[in-house]
Every structure is written in structure tokens, then in C-alpha cells.
Structure 1
């Protein structure tokens, strides 16, 4: 039986902070744990979004391409979709929507996923160019990000919400990626305003945290020396 109550996460967001960006899980393995998800590639190679079991990569050039089974990730989330309709929204900013979702669900202390499908008045995304080993820190890599803007565009936004007590394991709050209906636009979401869309949510009872035990750099690194919370906050802006 497919488990639809578990959110699977490979590695932690804190792992990226000091520049541990090596791909430590193949896409084929990630897809065993879900048909929906987000993440990034080795060296922070673009932004990933998985919809209906198909992974897509939004590259720093703006190109969107399908991802192969051998594509590796240093960090990713995945789950099997079982979204429930929450409400429809019209002419609403992203921050307002995020507040309304928490007010309607009272999910502030659990992990949950959000799916927003419809037409967006405007949306701003970003994608990071791939780094090569020896990898720079997350903050240094994020400075090379490319910003993209679109207006009056149809597509799907997938977001994972993590409680603040898990900040570092994941992004405390919402972490969102977008893919346009025509697969010509997407990325990590920075800001958006909705014209007309359906909002669905899926709550998780369990977080399955998977660690890259075969990566000697991860196993040996002392994370106590890293400014994890500050660097994540700065990189996610």
C-alpha cells in the first residue's frame, strides 16, 4: 500500500550551507518515495519540481527540461500526492495566501504540502547556476542566481511547509517551486500574485529523514561551526 501520510526528505537543508553540494541520491531512488516533490541537483544545478511522477529541472538559463533517472540530488523532498481541496482564491498575493492557509488548517506545527493550480497574475522565480567541486557555500552560490519574471501565466506551485522548530532540517515556513503549464517557465518561487486558482493541502503524520551515510564529507563535517539559520534565511530570499 502506498503511504500518503509520510513526507520523505533526502539530507537536510543545513547540509547545503557549508557547500556540501555533491549529489548523493539518484532521481530513480527519490521517485520510489513519491510522485510529487521539489529539490535541487548536484552543485545546486537548477530547481527541481516533480509533478505526476515526472521530474523537471529549471536551469539558470531559464530552460525547463525533463530529468533522467540517473540525475543526482544533494537535497530533495518527495511524497505521494493525496491533496484535499481547501478553497479557491482570486486576486491574492502569495504572503496573504500563506497566512490564510495556516488560519484555515491550524497546521503550523506539522509538515504539510500545498498545491496551487491555476492562473497567476505575476510570479517571480529564481534558479541557480551549477557549481563545480570544490563547491562554494550556499550563500556564495545563491549570489549567482538568475531571476525570472512572468505575468498572466498558468501553472502549478508546489510548496512544503516545515514548522519553525525544524528550521535547518528544512526551510522553516514555506518552500515553493513553480512549473508553468507549457513547461516553459519555472523555478524556486520568490514572490507571486494569483488571479484565479484552486488551493489544495496534504498533511503529513511522519517525516522520513534520509541521510547520505555514504558521503564522507557529510559524515565528517562539524555543523556547529556553521551559521545555519542566518545563511538559510539569506539564501532563500
Structure 2
């Protein structure tokens, strides 16, 4: 029979084996579960240190909903409800992140101006596979951009995110340069992921960010990375195991993405 110390080493290896792997090219990794997160599971369960081997590009949320997260060029940035934006320590944890190793398959230059709806219409004309998975990086000069972040939520039971819309903080900037980091994901990924377009912003000087609400942009360079697979690692928590995943939260997701009720 194996010794107690041998069993402990084996358990440690098994529990950490996932995070010792290297990421696959053209692959999206989801840590957490979007519907569960939007439904109120804001407690972090995985560190950025564990996530970072899986990519250099992505977005997510901080522990207890303290703002918004963007991953760009191998670094993790947080924008709090105060508007403060900063690079986070890898020891911090998150309840939800999607990430991939970004490698552009296609680059497009456009002068604009483009509103948010015009941008999405143009992207739809380029991203021709209805059921394709795309990571999208847009570097641009922004005539106007509006973003948002939620404040920290500490009192349990946590309400669903759509009920917290009155608490979100908005930030507006004009004549600013920066990057949009985001995805267009197909409907069959609904639930574990947020489908459709989802972008977060990061200014060139790394002092402004947040979830994209509205925009007018010019002189943009669009880089597209077409993905061919995805993996989901749900929260290893008792709260997730008890969470009702059968409830249709599509209207809540839409309200949260737009920053307002329909």
C-alpha cells in the first residue's frame, strides 16, 4: 500500500496537472461559467498565475465583481468602479476569465468613423462563418468611448448581475488611443460563455479601461484570430454544483452586455 506521503504527492499532482499543461494554438479556454457568474457566483476560485499559461489575450472579471479584467500582451489589467486601471498581481484570483494565445490570421485597416453598430456590421461582413469562433483585437483612435465597471459586492446572497445594473459606473473619454480586446462567439457556446460580441477597452497609457458600452472610432487596425476549439473549466465549488443552470438567462446576459434593461 502506498504511504500517506506518496498519496499526498499524487493528489497534489492530479489537482495541479491541468495547470501544468501548455495551451493549444487557436483554442479558447474558459475558466468559470458565464451563466453562473451572471447569476451571482462572484467568488473567485482560480488565480491569474494558474490561468496565464493558457494565453496572452482575453477578458473576465475580478473577485467579488470588483470591476472588469482585460488580458493583453501577457498582462492582466483591472478597471475598478472608481475608473482606476492597473496591472493586477498574478496571486489575485478571478471567478470568470476567457483567454487564448492570440495570433492574427487576418489584418484589416479602416479609417472610419464607425459607431458601435457600424463596427459590428462591418465585422459581420468579414467574419463570414456564422458558427465560427473569433478573437478580435482592434487598435484605434477613439473619437469617443464609453465603458463601465461594477463595484465590489460583498453581502450574500449575491444578487444576479442584471439586478446590479443601477450600481454600475460609466466612464467616457474623447480623442483617446487604445485597444479593444474581445470575441465573437457563436450561439452554441451560450451558457458557459457569453455569445455574440464582447469587448473590453484598454487605453494606450494603461490608465483607462472597462467593458465596452458605446464607441465612435477612427483609423483602426483590426486583427482577427479564428479559433477552432474551446475548453471549459467550471468552478470547482459547492456553490456551482448547487447552481440552477436550467434557468434561461439570455435576457439578463443581453442587459448586462448593453449596460441597461431592454
Taking structure 2 as the reference length, what is the TM-score of the superposition? 0.85
The answer to whether residue 197 in structure 2 is matched with residue 197 in structure 1 is no
- 1:63 matched residue in structure 2: 84
- 1:180 matched residue in structure 2: 203
Deviating more after overlay: 1-10 vs 119-128 = 1-10
Separation in structure 1 between the aligned mates of residue 167 and residue 128 of structure 2, nearest angstrom? 37
Which of 131, 140, 150 pairs up with 1:128? 150
Question: How many Å apart are 1:211 and its aligned residue?
Answer: 1.2
- 1:145 matched residue in structure 2: 168
Question: How many Å apart are 1:185 and its aligned residue?
Answer: 1.1
- 2:44 matched residue in structure 1: 23
Q: Comparing both structures, which one devotes a greater share of its residues to helix?
A: 2
The answer to whether residue 172 in structure 2 is matched with residue 156 in structure 1 is no
Separation in structure 1 between the aligned mates of residue 71 and residue 38 of structure 2, nearest angstrom? 23
Question: How many Å apart are 1:227 and its aligned residue?
Answer: 3.7
Separation in structure 2 between the aligned mates of residue 95 and residue 109 of structure 1, nearest angstrom? 20
SS at match of 2:218: strand
- 2:123 matched residue in structure 1: 101
Is the contact made by 2:136 and 2:222 (CA closer than 8 Å) also made in structure 1? yes
SS at match of 2:126: helix
The answer to whether residue 139 in structure 2 is matched with residue 117 in structure 1 is yes
- 1:167 matched residue in structure 2: 190
Separation in structure 2 between the aligned mates of residue 55 and residue 144 of structure 1, nearest angstrom? 24
Structure 2 residues without counterparts, runs of 5 or longer:
1-21
Separation in structure 2 between the aligned mates of residue 108 and residue 38 of structure 1, nearest angstrom? 22
Question: How many Å apart are 1:45 and its aligned residue?
Answer: 1.2
Q: Deviations over 1:206-229 (max 9, x none)?
A: 01111112x1000112222x3411
Question: How many Å apart are 1:165 and its aligned residue?
Answer: 2.7
Deviating more after overlay: 179-188 vs 76-85 = 76-85
Question: How many Å apart are 1:133 and its aligned residue?
Answer: 4.1
- 1:217 matched residue in structure 2: 239
Deviating more after overlay: 102-111 vs 202-211 = 102-111
Structure exhibiting the larger radius of gyration computed from Cα positions: 2
